[in-house]
């Protein structure tokens, strides 16, 4: 009996040792799987963080590129609008030129008719030289009649000469007007050509940047795809870790209830890990994340005198117009001329007639003061006062003065 008891005890001890050994082996295998899962999760999490950083960087570059595209689009819209205005002005200028040409032709015809009529009278009255005066003397009834006849002949001669002179003056005035209109039309055509070139340039830049945006879209899609794969790996490893920790906790609980603390710690660790993982993988959502009316007359914001600006600008009258230039002596275009003139007084302005339409503050034309900038479609000038401007006009005329209202005014800007 005693021996049987002893054998029974020995069997219980052996079974216990086997159970303990089994649990120990299970715990060792579980610890190895858990370690591998944590390592894979750590690697995937690092890769996910890098992918999210790439996504954030790409999106930042996309936003910057989109801002550039939006700014170019705004300028292009302004250029197209100015081209529409220029087309209207050119049409009006062509009509004016046609009218002046017709007036000149009529004036020249009137001059020729008067000249022909005068020649006929001269031939009739003076063809025979002094004989006409002799005939007047012979035919006169008395001295008074003679004087009257001679005076009448002189009056006709003076009348013809005066009338012919008037016709000639009219022809010259109309010819001068035609020349002026032709010059103004040529200037408009030069501005139109310049704006057409700018339009082509802006469209090319926008197309290039949209191509870059397409490249960014491809890069972003690739980075997001990688991020999704890394996130799936992190989620998969989190599930493995959860299962391994649960299995380890259950095994420890079976080992004579000695694993309670370990189970609690593992559960807490599992919760903490799960919370951290949720926070890390949630990083995806973060990364996903015409002249103004109304009597406008703003006050001056600088101590620079507009008259001084005008006086300085007028020093360069007669100097050449050069497209894209900023030299007041060797050549500047309209906006380059203004940029360089105001730079002399410490005022920084853009080299763009489009951008100058948004510079400073809006002023109504009736309140324009010397030193204000007058903006036309595709052109800018400095207001001198008294309805006059100084500007880099065109390649054919260079820097000159003229009437502020020679074209339709889009805006007047005060930058002083």
pLDDT in tens, 272-327: 333 444 333 333 333 333 444 457 899 998 999 999 999 999 999 999 998 889 99
What pLDDT is attached to residue 400? 94
* Vertex 368: Cα angle to 362 and 374 (nearest 5): 65
What pLDDT is attached to residue 65? 85
Cβ-contact 411, 290 below 8 angstroms = yes
Cβ count within 10 A of residue 204: 10
What pLDDT is attached to residue 18? 47
Sheet with 379-385, strands from edge to edge, namely 361-363, 411-414, 373-376, 379-385, 388-394, 398-403
CA-wise closest residue to 119 among 163, 54, 152? 163
Identity of the highest mean pLDDT range in 21-35, 126-140, 158-172: 158-172
The model's pTM: 0.49
CA-wise closest residue to 377 among 396, 354, 349? 354
Distance, in Å, from the CA atom of 240 to the CA atom of 181, rounded to the nearest integer, reads 87
CA-wise closest residue to 340 among 402, 390, 409? 390
Distance, in Å, from the CA atom of 206 to the CA atom of 209, rounded to the nearest integer, reads 5
Tens-digit pLDDT profile for residues 235-287: 888 888 788 777 777 777 777 554 444 434 444 444 433 344 433 333 333 33
Cβ-contact 121, 113 below 8 angstroms = no
What pLDDT is attached to residue 274? 39
Query: To the nearest whole number, what is the mean pLDDT of the chain?
Result: 76
Buried b (16+ CB within 10 A) or exposed e, 385-411: eeebbbbbbbeebbbebbebeebebbb
């Amino acid at each position: 009996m005693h021996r049987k008891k002893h054998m029974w005890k020995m069997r219980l001890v052996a079974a216990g040792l086997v159970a303990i050994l089994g649990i120990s082996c299970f715990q060792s295998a579980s610890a190895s799987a858990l370690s591998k899962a944590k390592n894979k999760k750590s690697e995937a999490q690092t890769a996910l963080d890098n992918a999210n950083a790439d996504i954030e960087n790409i999106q930042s570059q996309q936003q910057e590129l989109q801002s550039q595209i939006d700014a170019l689009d705004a300028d292009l819209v302004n250029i197209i609008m100015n081209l529409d205005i220029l087309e209207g002005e050119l049409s009006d200028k062509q009509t004016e030129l046609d009218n002046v040409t017709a007036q000149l032709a009529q004036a020249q015809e009137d001059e020729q008719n008067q000249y022909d009529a005068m020649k006929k009278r001269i031939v009739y009255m003076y063809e025979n030289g002094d004989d006409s005066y002799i005939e007047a003397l012979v035919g006169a009834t008395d001295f008074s009649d003679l004087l009257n006849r001679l005076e009448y002949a002189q009056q006709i001669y003076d009348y013809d000469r005066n009338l012919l002179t008037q016709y000639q003056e009219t022809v010259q005035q109309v010819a001068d007007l035609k020349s002026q209109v032709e010059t103004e039309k040529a200037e408009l055509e030069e501005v139109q050509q310049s704006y057409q070139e700018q339009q082509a340039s802006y469209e090319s830049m926008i197309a290039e940047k949209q191509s870059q945006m397409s490249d960014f879209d491809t890069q972003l899609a690739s980075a997001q795809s990688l991020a999704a794969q890394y996130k799936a790996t992190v989620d998969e490893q989190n599930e493995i870790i959860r299962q391994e920790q649960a299995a380890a906790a259950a095994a420890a609980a079976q080992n004579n209830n000695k694993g309670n603390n370990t189970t609690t710690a593992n559960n807490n660790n599992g919760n903490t890990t799960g919370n951290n993982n949720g926070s890390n993988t949630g990083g995806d959502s973060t990364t996903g994340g015409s002249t103004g009316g109304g009597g406008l007359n703003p006050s001056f914001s600088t101590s620079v005198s507009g008259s001084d600006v005008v006086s300085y600008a007028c020093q360069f009258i007669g100097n050449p117009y050069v497209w894209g230039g900023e030299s007041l002596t060797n050549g500047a275009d309209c906006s380059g001329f203004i940029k360089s003139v105001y730079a002399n007084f410490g005022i920084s302005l853009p080299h763009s007639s489009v951008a100058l339409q948004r510079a400073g503050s809006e002023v109504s034309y009736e309140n324009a003061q010397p030193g204000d900038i007058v903006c036309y479609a595709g052109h800018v000038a400095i207001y001198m006062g008294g309805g006059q401007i100084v500007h880099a006009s065109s390649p054919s005329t260079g820097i000159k003065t003229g009437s502020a209202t020679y074209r339709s005014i889009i805006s007047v800007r005060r930058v002083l």
